[in-house]
Structure 1
Amino acid sequence: MSTTQSERLRELLEPLVTSQGLDLEEIAVDSVGRMRSLRVVVDSDTGPDLDLIADLSRLLSAKLDETDVMGESEYELEVGTPGAERPLTEHRHYVRARGRMAGFHLTDGGELSARILDVDDEGLDLEVPGVKGRRPTARRLAFADIARARVQVEFNRKDKSATSKEEEA
């Protein structure tokens, strides 16, 4: 039997989350003064929409009300997605980040910023941006060589359809 509150919460909520076609990414209980907050982070390959998040929030709230896992005092339930600069910690995270720029901290101490092109069981195929007008280069990176990785926000990324139109011209 689980001993920590997070483990008990995961056991209770994960079946509901997966029944909605989502992955339970994180559960966190925070306390600020007398106020407690339960944050549940979910995701899917297609990215959950707001209606699905709202439905899930109601399901989780009802399930939590049936149990004493959060104790007797009041708490706030927050259900959301990982956000724009999500850490990449699971194979599925890398798959979902295909086409996105990511920052990598390597096990040898180096750092790398590159676009994830493809993902398989051993690692990643990347496109490393060119510097000072040079062309991008391809690079293979094994999962064993990655200490930490995080998706990077791109504000000036060209839309794929705009890129193909420019190439046709």
Structure 2
Amino acid sequence: MSSSQRPGADATVAAVSAAVTGPLEQLDLDVEAVELTPAGKRRVLRIAVDKDGGVSLDDVAAATRAINDVLDATAALGEQPYTLEVTSRGVDRPLTLPRHWRRNATRLVKATLADGSAVTGRIGESDEEQVVLDVDGAPRTVRYDEVKKALVQIEFNRKNEDE
């Protein structure tokens, strides 16, 4: 979760995150990021959500309603006007939690490891501590605590397994 560099912004982001987490969990959605940035006289509050199987437009609409209800009932954002943007996690965000790996099973990922090396492979089985990557047809187990950074790679011409 991030915020602008203004004093109190971190506390505001933490308060918003705490306030919306429960209602979003009731919708089977995880809060992935909360960002608050200045935009002229207003602020932009961006909340990224995710869930197993991906986020649909209906999920974003339901999340937006739930977040609006929570924010209307709390003073987390104070009196200054804001614009709310609810989005899905997005492919450009790093894989940082075990659920991110699970939700991206079969996708191609490039991981930079703590020792400085990099590995690119297709995500296979994963649990709370590690993932198995298919690296050129050979399985390679990688512990999450060995991963410095991991990003899903965009594949434009990927064929389905049944093709």
Number of aligned residue pairs: give it. 154
- The reply on whether 1:75 has 2:82 as its aligned counterpart is yes
Aligned runs of 1:54-69 on 2, under 5 Å? 54-69=61-76
TM-score (normalised: structure 1): 0.85
TM-score (normalised: structure 2): 0.88
- Residue 85 of structure 1 contacts residue 153 of structure 1 at CA under 8 Å; is this kept in 2? no
Distance in 2 of aligned mates of 1:155 and 1:62? 39
Q: Secondary structure at the match of 1:4?
A: helix
In the alignment, which residue of structure 2 is the partner of 1:151?
152
Q: Secondary structure at the match of 1:112?
A: strand
Aligned runs of 1:14-163 on 2, under 5 Å? 14-129=21-136, 136-162=137-163
- Any stretches of 5+ residues in structure 1 without a counterpart? 130-135, 163-169
Task: Give the drift of 1:138.
Answer: 2.2
* Identical pairs, percent: 33
- Residue 127 of structure 1 contacts residue 137 of structure 1 at CA under 8 Å; is this kept in 2? yes
1:53-104: CA deviation from partner (whole Å, max 9, x where unpaired): 1122012112212222111121100111111233111111111111011110
Q: Secondary structure at the match of 2:71?
A: helix
Distance in 2 of aligned mates of 1:114 and 1:95? 14
Distance in 1 of aligned mates of 2:139 and 2:20? 41
Q: Secondary structure at the match of 2:46?
A: strand
1:75–1:121 Cα change, 3 Å: closer
RMSD of aligned Cα (Å): 1.4
- Any stretches of 5+ residues in structure 2 without a counterpart? 1-9
2:49 alignment partner AA: V
Bigger mean CA deviation after superposition, 96-105 or 67-76: 67-76
1:78 alignment partner AA: E
Q: Secondary structure at the match of 2:132?
A: strand
Task: Give the drift of 1:32.
Answer: 2.4
1:110–1:17 Cα change, 3 Å: same
1:111-169: CA deviation from partner (whole Å, max 9, x where unpaired): 1111111112331111113xxxxxx322121222211111111111111221xxxxxxx
- Residue 98 of structure 2 contacts residue 129 of structure 2 at CA under 8 Å; is this kept in 1? no
- Larger radius of gyration between Structure 1 and Structure 2: 1
Q: Secondary structure at the match of 1:108?
A: coil
